[in-house]
């Protein structure tokens, strides 16, 4: 039998991955709360049309 190509992530690696995902989501949420960012984003989307 062939050995498995990869092993399951360790618990601390899984926890670290979810912590990084949570930090990214919080950073995006904070950006969306900034009116200047929202205006810039709307201008960029509007420029596509």
Hey, where are the domains in the chain? 13-47
CA dihedral of 10, 16, 17, 18, whole degrees rounded to 10: 110
> According to the model, what pLDDT value does residue 9 have?
77
Distances (CA, A) of 3 to 6, 7, 8: 9, 10, 13
For residue range 1-49, list pLDDT tens digits in order: 677 778 877 888 999 999 999 999 999 999 989 999 999 999 999 999 8
**Is the entire prediction scored with pTM above 0.75?**
no
């Amino acid at each position: 039998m062939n050995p498995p190509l990869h092993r399951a992530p360790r618990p601390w690696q899984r926890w670290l991955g979810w912590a990084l995902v949570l930090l990214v989501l919080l950073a995006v949420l904070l950006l969306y709360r900034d009116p200047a960012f929202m205006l810039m984003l709307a201008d960029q989307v509007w420029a596509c049309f």
